[in-house]
A and B are shown apart, each in its own frame.
Chain A
Amino acid sequence: MSYTFALVGNPNCGKTTIFNEITGSTQYVGNWPGVTVEKKEGKARKFKEEIKIVDLPGIYSLSPYTMEEIIARDYIVDQRPDVVINIVDASNIERNLYLTTQLIELGIPVVVALNMMDVVNARQDRIDTQKLIHYLGVPVLLVTANKGAGVKEVVEKALEVAQSAAAREADIPCKVFDQAIEQSLGKLQTLVKPWAQAKKYNARWVSLKLLEGDEKVKEKLDVPVTLMAEVKTYREGLEHEYDCDIETVVADNRYRFISNVVSKAIKKKNNGNTLTLSDKIDKVVTNRILAIPIFLAVMFAVFQASFGPVGSFTIDWIDVFINETIAGVLTSWLEAGGAAEWLKALIIDGILAGMGSMLVFVPQIMIVFFFLSILEDTGYMARAAFIMDRVLRKLGLSGKSFIPMLMGFGCSTPAIMASRTLENEKDRRLTIILTPFMSCGARLPVYALFAAAFFAQNQGVIIFSIYMLGIVVAVLSGIILKKFVLKGEVAPFVMELPPYRIPTLKGITIHMLDRGKGFVKKAGTVIFAAAVVIWFLQTFSFSFQMVQDPGDSIMGGIGKLMVPVFAPLGFDDWRAAVALLTGVVAKEVVVATLGILTDVGEVTEDSVELAAALQVYFTPLKAYAFMAFTLLYMPCVAAFGAIKREMNSWKWTLFTVAYQTGVAWIVALLIYQVGRLVGLG
């Protein structure tokens, strides 16, 4: 027999910790189809039965208002896992049980795992499990997930429930609602039964959802109008009786039931008026005066660690290892074997370099996620959102968008991956689109070259203005996109501030490795394919001859064709067009290409010869427009791969790069044309 158990719980209840504990290294991380919400699956270890564990998104409720809630609910009612394992943060039991009351109604067996028992015990609160079992009508087990205690027992219990429940139709065991609601539900239940059964839904749950006016359920069931009219009568009857809308009545009922259960089953040692350690930390961290300096210091530290000496060391090291060590060994083998020149080029410059262009990012992504996991698991991330909300709300973003945006100044690729930490899909998409406008480290060599060549007197100011331009474009884009593309109801900012916790090394390590692996698997294929294609276009001519001068290559040909597109921006020489095309591999490549195309040869960004050569093709105004274009146009293939992975949709990915390139074109056009009008050209 094989079984499927779904893990469901509030955010921060310890779900990931329990999932890791049950599945070990068998987990598979992907996305739910078409959305940016993560899906995790794994097999339970140490059981002879085949048990699939599906980790559903962390949610507070099953009301169909957020993507996560809809995914979780649809999964449970349509895929019908054998058991729903509901993880409840026992140290925050009232709010957590709200979801429990909703899960129990779905008609699928539920096993409740009361997690964080160590916290409860430390507070010397007492939970009477028997009473909880009695009131909720489902098995309840005690767990301390970060120590692994009780996790196996939960799976054993779920297995036992699954094996015994297979035959019978689950009853709704607990009595949450008032008499009046129950009566209406009882009558409606018989009416909706045929439609509910057609979908194998629980009739009582369907009645409740229809009563609440749940559009999603209505759509799914295709209930006839006559029945809906009947439902409406019941709803109006209840709303009249309570003098209040039905959703409020239902929510009030649930919380009243829970308060009652909690008061009977839990004895609190003290009433929560004393300051906990978490409260004390918060007093400092979100203090009126200290909060922002602390926030900036934390951000600076994370940025330095990721993109400072350690980060760049790992990049250089991998680069050397792949493009020198391995390339050297392979070259000598190929030469010894008498391989043709084109084959050698394909393997070394095409495939190996393509792999390299993806692998160099892996350590950096892991470092970034190492710190992000710490920020998330300690609970600081929620405070960062709390502190920064006011600023970022103006751009239509949430406080948490700050982190990916900041990372963008280091490298767009891990920064885009970091958008994962945002809860809301629209915020995530917008953040992904805007992050590449933050000027990454790879673009600096281009600015440095042009600033030295054309603005020798005030290089600093010019480069700084380019960075500012990126921020301004991001701000304006945020406002515009929110208004026209990512419109719709704004996500309410109603967020839990979880207590500060000490993260576990295991949890952080798994998270970090997951991200690295996910990047290689999902983004890696895109990056690799793109890198090889670009290499091919750059290396071969239209007659498939290998060429030395990129100007003669297919890419060069395309670049020459594109001159009219770039001419209005001031770069009317094909060399500029080709350099920009090759910049898609990595933006610093623009410098190298310009070196080759202007016959200067191998160059560094402070090359005096290249600076002199560029004077022929650019004026200061053209150079500035070129820098602006380099800043804004589509990011490199690695970032492209990351965008594809995080957007989880080709449509959005292509929209993103088209938008960025379009913006680059318009901004460069404005700079050049307005500059000329005012006589700078």
Chain B
Amino acid sequence: MNKTLKELKPGDKAVIKSVMGEGAVKRRLMDMGVTRGAEVLVRKVAPLGDPIEVNIRGYELTFRKSEAENIIVE
């Protein structure tokens, strides 16, 4: 069952399946450890509704919802 990371709620856990898109954004996400097989835990959404914060590979990472849309999880 595939979803994008954007659809997850705070507290949800998932495993990264792939990162879509291309260029700098995709590369940056992968450099930061958003690669296949990594576990993510959605921590919270910023007070104004965007960006979101996740825990991945033992640290806290934040990106915008537009980026989360490109991350496929299961």
Q: How far is the CA of A287 from the CA of B19 in the complex (A)?
A: 29
Q: How far is the CA of A493 from the CA of B52 in the complex (A)?
A: 11
A232 at the interface (CB under 8 A from B): no
Query: Which single member of B23, B32, B62 contacts A95 (CB below 8 Å)?
Result: B32
Task: Give B21 Cβ to nearest chain A Cβ, in Å.
Answer: 10
Measured between beta carbons, the chain A residues less than 8 angstroms from B19 are 248
Q: Name the residue in A60, A251, A272 with the highest tally of chain B Cβ atoms < 10 Å from its Cβ.
A: A251
A658 at the interface (CB under 8 A from B): no
Which chain B residue shows the least CB distance to A495? B62
Instruction: Scan A490-524; emit 1 where CB is below 8 A from any B CB, else 0.
Output: 01111111110000000000000000000000000
Main secondary structure of the interface of B (DSSP, over half): mixed
Interface residues of B, CB < 8 Å — how many? 36
Measured between beta carbons, the chain A residues less than 8 angstroms from B25 are 492, 494
Are the C-beta atoms of A387 and B48 separated by less than 8 Å? yes
Are the C-beta atoms of A386 and B46 separated by less than 8 Å? yes
Are the C-beta atoms of A492 and B67 separated by less than 8 Å? yes
Q: How far is the CA of A292 from the CA of B47 in the complex (A)?
A: 8
Are the C-beta atoms of B18 and A98 separated by less than 8 Å? no
Measured between beta carbons, the chain A residues less than 8 angstroms from B62 are 382, 386, 493-497
Which chain B residue shows the least CB distance to A59? B31
Are the C-beta atoms of A494 and B46 separated by less than 8 Å? no
Instruction: Scan A239-277; emit 1 where CB is below 8 A from any B CB, else 0.
Output: 000001101100110011001000000000000100000
Measured between beta carbons, the chain B residues less than 8 angstroms from A389 are 46, 48, 50-51, 64
B61 at the interface (CB under 8 A from A): yes
Are the C-beta atoms of A492 and B28 separated by less than 8 Å? yes
Task: Give A148 Cβ to nearest chain B Cβ, in Å.
Answer: 25
A183 at the interface (CB under 8 A from B): no
Query: Which single member of B30, B57, B60 contacts A251 (CB below 8 Å)?
Result: B30
Task: Give B29 Cβ to nearest chain A Cβ, in Å.
Answer: 6
A312 at the interface (CB under 8 A from B): no
Task: Give A378 Cβ to nearest chain B Cβ, in Å.
Answer: 15
A391 at the interface (CB under 8 A from B): yes
Q: How far is the CA of A288 from the CA of B44 in the complex (A)?
A: 9
The bracket for how many chain A residues form the interface is 35 or more
Are the C-beta atoms of A287 and B47 separated by less than 8 Å? yes
Measured between beta carbons, the chain A residues less than 8 angstroms from B11 are none
Measured between beta carbons, the chain A residues less than 8 angstroms from B59 are 92, 95, 496, 498
Are the C-beta atoms of B44 and A492 separated by less than 8 Å? no
Q: How far is the CA of A497 from the CA of B62 in the complex (A)?
A: 7
Query: Which single member of A95, A256, A272, A491 contacts B37 (CB below 8 Å)?
Result: A256
Chain A to chain B contacts (Cβ below 8 Å), 10 pairs: A60-B31, A247-B26, A247-B27, A251-B30, A272-B58, A291-B47, A382-B62, A386-B51, A386-B62, A499-B60
User: What 8 A-B pairs come out closest when comparing CB atoms?
Assistant: A61-B31, A390-B48, A251-B30, A497-B60, A492-B25, A94-B57, A291-B47, A494-B63
Q: A286-B44, A387-B47, A390-B49 are in contact. List 14 more A-B contacts (CB 8 A).
A: A92-B58, A92-B59, A94-B57, A98-B31, A287-B47, A288-B47, A289-B47, A387-B46, A494-B61, A494-B63, A495-B62, A495-B63, A496-B61, A498-B60
Residues of A within 8 A of B (CB): 60-61, 63, 65, 92-95, 98, 244-245, 247-248, 251-252, 255-256, 259, 272, 282, 286-289, 291-292, 382, 386-387, 389-391, 393, 489, 491-499
